[in-house]
């Protein structure tokens, strides 16, 4: 459930990922026949007005999960768009053969599944879902409805081929959640995008991105009429590489990520050119030249381009006061932000602008 748009293969044409569910008839738990087809789909833009199904060639396999809220995001700042998904049960009725059981028995099954999920590592749980060994306890709530989340790393920069590898557990993300939405934003202005996952009767999570990540450029657009510049396109050039992003509202499923386009630059220490196509226009405008890496460039539609280091704009005090100390793990680890408790409740806090 949910879609995301992004140019995952850096050919200048925006592609589409649609999240799906493993339902009866699609290799779901009703017919026990596992389908090689994933309900989720990646559609590659052929740059000629048509799209091709690139799900398999990009390395996506069925997960057995109810997938929600896909988001294209360059979480490692290497210059290619990675992909995140969350999962969780929907409260559908139990499979027919189980729904005939008395209520206490069904509750006992849900309880047993919940216990299993507490003691089985997420990697094993994901494998069990993949091969339908573990049946999602439909109609259950809380932990019994929880599933692993998914973080895929794009291999385009590393190998030249835009294929995706599941790095969820490698990055230290092991929680099971029952979630429908998630969003990415650099909540502490350190240049690495962080991941917030909602919880539907499971705890919400803020994963602080501990890096290491590549250099980056963030672009803040100020339009003349439409101040937020929703619908604008931004294209940057670093060496012989180009990347495009678009300013948009809503990501995934009922979620809103950081609106300012965020570009990973890898080791590049400068962006040669930034071009903008403003909403309602059809041509690219050269907005900035020679922007140093690790800056936020503010571009106005009347032709101004300025930039500043993000460290000169610390997060809002309200958020800073409640920002928990993040644990550190090596190699691109993404860990839950932990304070006195492992579950952080951000209700009532103000996010930085």
Interface residue with Ca ion, options 67, 132, 190, 260 (CB under 5 A): 190
Decide whether 81 or 87 has the Cβ nearer to Ca ion: 81
Interface residue with Ca ion, options 21, 173, 177, 188 (CB under 5 A): 188
Note whether 74 binds Ca ion by CB under 5 A. yes
Note whether 310 binds Ca ion by CB under 5 A. no
CB neighbourhood size of 154 (10 A): 28
Interface residue with Ca ion, options 138, 140, 164, 186 (CB under 5 A): 186
Q: Least separation, in Å, of the C-beta of 42 and Ca ion?
A: 10
Q: What angle do CA 331, 333, 334 make, to 5 degrees?
A: 160
Binding mask 2-31 for Ca ion (x = CB under 5 A): -----x-x-x-x-x----------------
Decide whether 9 or 202 has the Cβ nearer to Ca ion: 9
Decide whether 27 or 79 has the Cβ nearer to Ca ion: 79
Interface residue with Ca ion, options 192, 217, 274, 299 (CB under 5 A): 192
CB neighbourhood size of 96 (10 A): 9
Phi, psi (5° rounding) for residue 199? Answer: -130, 135
Note whether 260 binds Ca ion by CB under 5 A. no
Interface residue with Ca ion, options 80, 132, 251, 260 (CB under 5 A): 80
Question: Which of 42-50, 64-72, 163-171, 243-251 is the region at the interface with Ca ion (rule: CB under 5 A)?
Answer: 42-50
């000629």: which residue's tokens?
48
Decide whether 25 or 314 has the Cβ nearer to Ca ion: 314
On whether the CB atoms of residues 3 and 70 are closer than 8 A, the answer is yes
Q: Least separation, in Å, of the C-beta of 257 and Ca ion?
A: 13
On whether the CB atoms of residues 164 and 327 are closer than 8 A, the answer is no
Decide whether 76 or 132 has the Cβ nearer to Ca ion: 76
Decide whether 145 or 247 has the Cβ nearer to Ca ion: 247
- Taking Cα atoms as reference points, which of 281, 263, 282 lies closest to residue 273? 263
Binding positions for Ca ion, 152-181, rule CB under 5 A: 154
What is 20-66 written as a DSSP string?
-B--TTTT-TTT----SS-SSEEEEE-SSS-EEE-TTTTT----SSB
Cα dihedral 249, 255, 261, 263 in deg (nearest 10): -150
Interface residue with Ca ion, options 194, 251, 260, 310 (CB under 5 A): 194
Cα distances (angstroms) measured from residue 85 to each of 69, 82, 252, 285, 295: 6, 11, 8, 34, 28
Q: Measure CA of the first residue to CA of the last residue in the chain; give whole Å.
A: 28
Note whether 82 binds Ca ion by CB under 5 A. yes
Interface residue with Ca ion, options 76, 251, 260, 310 (CB under 5 A): 76
The encoded tokens of residue 290 equal 């020679």
Q: Least separation, in Å, of the C-beta of 228 and Ca ion?
A: 22
Q: What's the gap between Cα 314 and its chain centre?
A: 24
* Cα–Cα distance measured from residue 128 to residue 124, given in angstroms and rounded to the nearest whole number: 6
Q: Which residues bind Ca ion (CB under 5 A)?
A: 7, 9, 11, 13, 15, 45, 74, 76, 78, 80, 82, 154, 186, 188, 190, 192, 194
């Amino acid at each position: 459930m949910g879609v995301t748009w992004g140019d995952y293969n850096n050919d200048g044409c925006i592609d589409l990922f649609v999240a799906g569910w493993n339902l009866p008839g699609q290799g779901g738990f009703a017919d026990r026949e596992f389908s090689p087809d994933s309900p989720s789909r990646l559609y590659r833009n052929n740059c000629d007005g048509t799209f091709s199904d690139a799900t398999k060639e990009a390395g996506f396999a069925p997960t057995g999960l109810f997938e929600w809220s896909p988001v294209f995001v360059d979480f490692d700042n290497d210059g290619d768009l990675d992909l995140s998904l969350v999962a969780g049960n929907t409260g559908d009725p139990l499979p027919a053969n189980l729904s005939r059981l008395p209520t206490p028995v069904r509750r006992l099954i849900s309880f047993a599944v919940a216990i299993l999920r507490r003691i089985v590592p997420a990697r094993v749980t994901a494998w069990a879902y993949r091969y339908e060994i573990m049946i999602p306890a439909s109609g259950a709530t809380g932990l019994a409805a929880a599933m692993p989340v998914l973080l895929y790393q794009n291999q385009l920069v590393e190998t030249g081929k835009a294929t995706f590898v599941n790095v969820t557990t490698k990055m230290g993300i092991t929680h099971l959640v029952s979630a429908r939405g998630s969003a990415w934003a650099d909540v502490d202005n350190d240049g690495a995008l962080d991941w917030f996952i909602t919880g539907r009767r499971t705890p919400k999570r803020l994963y602080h991105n501990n890096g290491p990540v590549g250099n980056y450029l963030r672009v803040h657009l100020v339009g003349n009429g439409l101040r937020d510049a929703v619908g604008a396109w931004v294209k940057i050039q670093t060496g012989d590489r180009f990347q495009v992003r678009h300013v948009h509202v809503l990501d995934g499923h009922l979620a809103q990520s950081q609106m300012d386009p965020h570009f990973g630059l890898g080791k590049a220490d400068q962006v040669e050119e930034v071009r903008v196509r403003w909403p309602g226009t059809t041509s690219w405008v050269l907005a900035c030249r020679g922007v140093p890496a690790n800056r936020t460039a503010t571009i106005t539609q009347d032709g101004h381009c300025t930039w500043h280091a993000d460290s000169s704009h610390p997060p809002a005090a309200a958020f800073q006061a409640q920002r928990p100390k993040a644990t550190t793990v090596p190699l691109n680890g993404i860990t839950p932000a932990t304070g006195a408790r492992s579950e952080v409740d951000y209700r009532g806090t103000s996010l930085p602008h």
